[in-house]
Each structure stands twice: as structure tokens, then as C-alpha cells.
Amino acid sequence: MKSKLEYIWLDGSVPTQQLRAKTRIEENFSGKLEDCPMWSFDGSSTNQAVGGSSDLLLKPVYICPDPDRKNAYLVMTEVLNPDETPHPTNGRAFIEEEDEDFWFGFEQEYFLYDPQTRLPLGFPAGGFPEPQGPYYCGVGGSKAFGRQIVEEHLDLCLEAGINVEGINAEVAAGQWEFQIFAKGALSAGDQVWMARFLLERTAEKYGVDVEWHPKPLGKDLDWNGSGMHANFSNGLMRTCGDKKVFTDICEEFAKRIPEHIAVYGAYNDQRLTGLHETQSIDEFSYGVSDRGASIRIPVGTVENGWKGRLEDRRPASNGDPYKIGGRIIKTVKKVEG
């Protein structure tokens, strides 16, 4: 039997990388990651190399069934130089090693856009729908736009084995969210990128674009932006029962604003303004159940006797989960050290 293997990678687009993919056919494929061969591509066509020396390598790192094609698999890859060192665009290499003691829950927000009007679904051409209020977790033709795409995407993710834990309509019209949980930053990043790929490909069938920009409607309009809130914990946080552990971690984050913002996504200054459930990009705060803070301490963590997680609310919807997870781990380990 011949199988289709869709090799997926991140290109060299700036300031936000885009997904690329191509299919290879393998005969009698086992379905196992270790049996996925290394492959190559033309980096000069993806802003990753020059034409005179354009061959780059694709190293398979994650595989799952492709429920939308017959006899098919989805293969997430890393981009390598010809000597098999990480390419500068390889954000996955930002994570030095997998550490499954760190658990991540990413809340991925996004807009569904009409490519003709360049406006979110639900926005009339040249105008606006009624103001924010009825859309968050809304139901009905005048409140939820693009649900068929969202539901199909959810089913595909679950069939592929991606650990999606939920979906919901978000605050703005045409805005949605899915949540992914994983143990380890590499696993979390692999699954977020794979879910993004499936969403892009599903929306493509309906002639709809996915907009990952954190403030696509502009910072001056009264419409929420899109984030990718990063919930995180490690074994100490889940078991310590000590408020000081959590405040010490938050204080360490406060010392490292530039390092975090540098990898939290492009154009995030347009979203992190201090309005629409955000803290200003150049300020830092934390608080229990405070969605206007840089880091929210969930009330469940407090009620559980200071055992649980924290939520960094600053990452943008277009951020690279590999880089975000890797940076969070580095900062938390400063406290442990």
C-alpha cells in the first residue's frame, strides 16, 4: 500500500513565520516517526536560502494520522542546514531538551477572515456588526460566524490524536479559540503547530483565511485582539502548597520583560495596551484572577492550597509556541536554581 506523508515546516517569512507543506509517497509505510525519511526542499522559495545554494533539510519530529486524506499522515519537521545543524529559522531548536515535568496549556485565539472583504466573518463590507458583547461563547446566526469550520477542525484534531481540550467563540465577531494541553514544550509546540496547519487547510476548503495577527482590526478600535495565553506548571508548582513559590516565579518574570516579549509574537505592542483584558507591553503585573495582568494566578490554584499553575497572558496569537515554551522554562528554572 502507498501512503501519503505531508511534510510540514515553518518558512523564513518575517516577522511571522508561515506554514509550508508538501507530500511524498511512501510504499509499505509503518506509520512510525522513525521510519519517516529525511527530505529536502528549495529554501530559496521560502525565504530561507539563496538560489545558488538552496537545498535545506526537513527532519521529521512528530507524526499523526491525517484524517482528511486517505492512507495519509501529517509529519511535522524541523528545518536543518545541509550539515544537519539547525537552520536560523528553526524555533524548535530554541528548546534545549524536552522536560515533561513542565506542563503547558495554550489558548490559541484567531480570526476567520473573508479574503474578499479582508474583514472577519460577520463583518459587513465597509462597516461593523453590533459592538462586542454577544459574541463570546455566543450561539445563533447573528453571533457565531464560521462555526462549521471550527467544528470540522475540532473533529479533525481529535481524530489525528492532537490533545485539544476545548473550543469556544471569542469576544469579537468572527473570533474563535481552541485549547491544547501537553506535557513538555516540544510536544506542546508540535501539537499547536499541527492544529494550526489543520485549521488553515480546513478553512481553505471554505474559501476562508485564518488571521493570526494579534490586533488585525487595529489598536484604536474597540475590538479585542487575539492572544495565545500560556498556562504552565511544573512538579514544584503542582505540589508545593506555598504562595511564595508562585510569587517568586512571578517576580522572576518581572525581571525579564524584554526576553519574553522578544519571542511572544510580532505586533504584540498593538494588543498589549492595557485595554481589552491586557497589561501594557512595557509593564508587568500579576494577581489572582486578574485578566488585566501580565500573569494571572488562577483562583483554582489558590483554592487548591497554592498548588497548580500560572497563566502568562502576554503571548500573541501569532507567537511561536516552541519559543514561548522554551523561554518560560528558562525563567522558571532561574527560581528553582
Cell of 49: 536560502
Average pLDDT over residues 230-253: 97
Q: From the centroid of its chain, how far is CA 19? A: 12
Q: Would you state the pLDDT for residue 275?
A: 85
What structural domains does the chain harbor?
2-94 (3.10.20.70), 103-333 (3.30.590.10)
Average pLDDT over residues 331-337: 85
Average pLDDT over residues 205-221: 94
Cell of 81: 542546514
C-alpha dihedral (224, 91, 210, 260), degrees to nearest 10: 0
Q: Would you state the pLDDT for residue 43?
A: 96
Q: What is the pLDDT of residues 172-201, one digit of tens each?
A: 999 999 999 999 999 999 999 999 999 999
Which residues are 183's β-sheet partners?
103
Give Cα separations from 70 to 6, 165, 253 (angstroms): 12, 26, 46
DSSP state of 284: -
Contact 175, 169 (CB under 8 A): yes
Backbone angles phi and psi of 74, in degrees to 5: -105, 130
Would the pTM of this model clear 0.85, i.e. be above it? Answer: yes
Q: Would you state the pLDDT for residue 97?
A: 86
Average pLDDT, the chain: 96
Q: Would you state the pLDDT for residue 220?
A: 81
Please determine, for residue 337, whether its predicted confidence score (pLDDT) is greater than 70. Answer: no
Q: Binning pLDDT at 50, 70 and 90, where does residue 222 land?
A: confident
Helix axes 243-254, 321-336, angle to 10 degrees: 120
Backbone angles phi and psi of 18, in degrees to 5: -115, 160
Cell of 153: 477542525
C-alpha dihedral (151, 152, 153, 155), degrees to nearest 10: 90
